Structure 1
Amino acid sequence: MKLIIQIPCYNEEETLELAYNDLPRHIDGIDTIEYLIINDGSKDKTVQKARDLGFHHIVSFRRNKGLARGFMAGMDACLRLGADIIVNTDADNQYCGADIEKLVRPILERKADMVIGERPIDETEHFSWKKKKFQHLGSWVVRVASRTDVPDAPSGFRAYSRETAMRMNVVNEYTYTLETIIQAGQSKMAVASVPIRTNPETRPSRLFSSMWRYMKRSASVIIRSTAMYRPLQFFCTIGLILFVLGLAVGIRFLVYFFMGTGGGHVQSLILASVLLMIGFQTITLGLLGDTIAANRKLLEDVQYHVRKMDYDGNPETQTPDDAAQEEQEK
């Protein structure tokens, strides 16, 4: 059983050693533990620091491509290197490395396909009151959208089984955390959460410059992912709301019409017609989207089998640096 711990990095020269020293060297049930960094176009000496520390593998981009792209490049490299379990953690040592054993245990016991570390958000001192409330709100929205029971959706401290990793796709270019949960819920994967510990803050988060910006980007990811993975429910819900509003306005006009005062309410008739038409068109979009989603599922199955032949049939035929080079040339 091989575990690879991947760490996305962007200018992490100062904190990488803390994260590396905190990583586990042995876990019961794991034969081999290896460490991999994804250098997302760092301008400092992150790569040299990783080599000096003894990281086994380095995936490197020439320019910054964002957390989502880096995450998927790391997953690809880990699969090519024969990982049975992949753990993702942060280079700023936010998460306690000893808790990686908690993450992988449900996968080793075949109780989960994906495991997400649940941070003690309310007890985390460097989280502001506003950030704590928004974290809870965002996680609730993701739970509704994904039909899972994940209390800490933005947590990047995660473990994936090999089979689950081969089915992962991230379309947005912002973050993988929310979309992968929605995808896992739609695909009926077994998603589990385990309580974890966090370390004191070493630097401010680089994922967002302000809370409102983070909320806007996250809301965009949730809406886009929900529309992609559950189009029928998404568009039909919107369409039915518009249709019912149009119907209500239309009934109101008819009431006035039969009372003999309909001439002064022509605007209501126009509004009702527009709402009914848009509602019907939105429902039609949902039906078309559902057909497209069915085709996407077929393509995902094909992609899974291609990946399985690629990764399992020809293990380690391509190094992480080769994979990064191909990514850069796209």
Structure 2
Amino acid sequence: MSYSVLIVIPCYNEAETIASTLFELKEVLNNTSELKYEILVVNDCSTDNSLDIIKQAKVNYIDLPINLGIGGTVQTGYLYAQKNNFDIAVQFDGDGQHDPVYISKIVQPIIERKANVVIGSRFLNKEGFQSSFLRRLGIRYFSLLNNILVKTKILDTTSGFRALDSKAIEEVCKYYPENYPEPEVIVLFVNNKFKLLEVPVLMRARTGGVSSISGLKALFYMFKVSIGSLFLYIRLKIGQKNDNSF
């Protein structure tokens, strides 16, 4: 069976990195013949010249008319994947942190039907860029929170380098967290009894642009994601009880 894979790249003001990211990505994918790949950049109403660079790269893109944030941007890519019947969707950052040579590694467990969702983890082998000390503490906190809520231990809960099969794509097209979705959506996946798997990858430091999570925003991020995860967990459990009452 030949699998079709959509690479979804959310982009907001990544003019410093998106050209090199797309160039490297196309170089790697051109040398990978066993799967059918397509690149889709979702431009989240960037205010710099990211869109011009994307057009020059000659890849498929969606230019959002308003800024949706990371959740809406990524979900747009998943909706495209569902509408066009892709077997697998891979979320891939446009800031240079993700190495495209690992794409085949994170889609392989899905092809082998060992997982519905595969997360590229920088912490399994503890190699490559490990993020800052404070960020690592935050990631460990989210790992603990997920473990408490859904009894699933994911080390790199904030990793945006992940692959979804068609079942998981269908689910996130119905609902996807609005802001900072990566830790929260794990609750959704586990509740739907999807099999999650982490595979080791090497990540790199951001080569340009500015992270949206810094300073006091980091504390707000932790609070918002914690509340979002908790309320999603409660909503899903209530929904399950209502379904079982019939």
| Common fold by TM > 0.5 | yes
- Shift of residue 3 of structure 1? 1.0
Does 1:187 pair with 2:192? yes
Query: Quick one: structure 1 residues 95 and 81, their matched pair in 2 at CA, closer, same or farther if it must change by over 3 Å?
Result: same
Distance, in Å, in 2 between the alignment partners of 1:68 and 1:49 is: 23
Find the aligned partners of 1:172 and 1:114 in 2 and give their Cα distance: 16
> 1-side partners of 2:51 and 2:129: how far apart?
31
> Any idea what the Cα deviations from partners look like across 1:216-250, whole Å, max 9, x if unmatched?
1221221122111234xxxxxxxxxxxxxxxxxxx
> Normalising by the residue count of structure 2, what TM-score does the alignment of the two structures yield?
0.87
RMSD (Å), alpha carbons: 2.2
Aligned residue identity for 1:163: K
After TM superposition, the structure 1 = structure 2 runs for residues 120-135 of structure 1, keeping only pairs within 5 Å, are 120=123, 127-135=131-139
The alpha-carbon deviation at position 172 of structure 1 amounts to 3.5
> Which amino acid in the other structure matches residue 60 of structure 1?
D
* C-alpha displacement of 1:208: 5.2
Query: In the alignment, is the contact (CA less than 8 A) between 2:91 and 2:161 conserved in 1?
Result: yes
Aligned equivalents of 1:67 and 1:123: distance in 2? 27
Q: Which residue of 1 aligns with 2:63?
A: 60
Structure 1 residues 290 and 107: CA distance shift in structure 2, 3 A: closer
Q: Does the CA contact (< 8 Å) of 2:110 and 2:116 recur in 1?
A: yes
- Looking at structure 2, the residues matched to 53 and 134 of structure 1 have their Cα atoms a distance apart, in angstroms, of 35
Q: What's the offset of the Cα at 1:42?
A: 0.8
1:177 to 167, 182, 186: 182
Pairs within 5 Å for 1:36-185: 36-55=40-59, 57-120=60-123, 127-168=131-172, 169-185=174-190
* Paired residues of 1:89 and 1:95 also in contact (CA < 8 A): yes
Unaligned runs of 5+ in 1: 232-288, 299-330
Identity of aligned residues (%): 25
Structure 1 contact 68–170 (Cα < 8 Å) conserved: no
1-structure distance, mates of 2:157, 2:130: 19
Matched-pair contact (CA < 8 Å) for 1:143–1:149? yes
Q: Distance in 2 between matches of 1:191 and 1:29?
A: 24
Q: 8 Å contact 2:187–2:232 — kept in the other structure?
A: yes
Relative contact order: is structure 1 or structure 2 higher (C-alpha 8 Å, sep ≥ 6)?
A: 2
- Choose 1 or 2 for highest CA Rg: 1
Alignment of 1:278-289 (within 5 A): none
Q: Which residue matches 2:210?
A: 204
What amino acid is the match of 2:73?
G
Distance in 1 (CA, whole Å) between partners of 2:103 and 2:177 is 27
Give TM-score scaled by structure 1 length: 0.66
**Which of the residues 12, 15, 29 maps onto 1:13?**
15
Relative distance call for 1:139 and 1:126 in structure 2 (3 A) is closer
| C-alpha spacing 1:150/1:10, structure 2 compared with 1 (3 Å) | same
In structure 1, give the amino acid aligned to 2:164: Y
Where does structure 2 lack aligned partners over 5 or more consecutive residues?
Answer: none
Structure holding more helix per residue: 1
1:48 Cα shift?
A: 1.9
Q: Pick closer, same or farther for the CA change 1:22–1:139 going to 2, 3 Å.
A: farther
Deviations 1:118-174 (A, max 9, x none): 113966657332221221121121133223232111111010112221122435321
Alignment CA distance shift 1:18-1:2 (3 Å): same
2:226 counterpart of 1:219: yes
Between Structure 1 and Structure 2, how many residues are aligned? Answer: 236
| Alignment partners' CA distance in 2, 1:165 and 1:73 | 11
Secondary structure of the 1:216 match is helix
- The residue aligned with 1:305 is none
Distance 1:200 1:153 in 2: 17
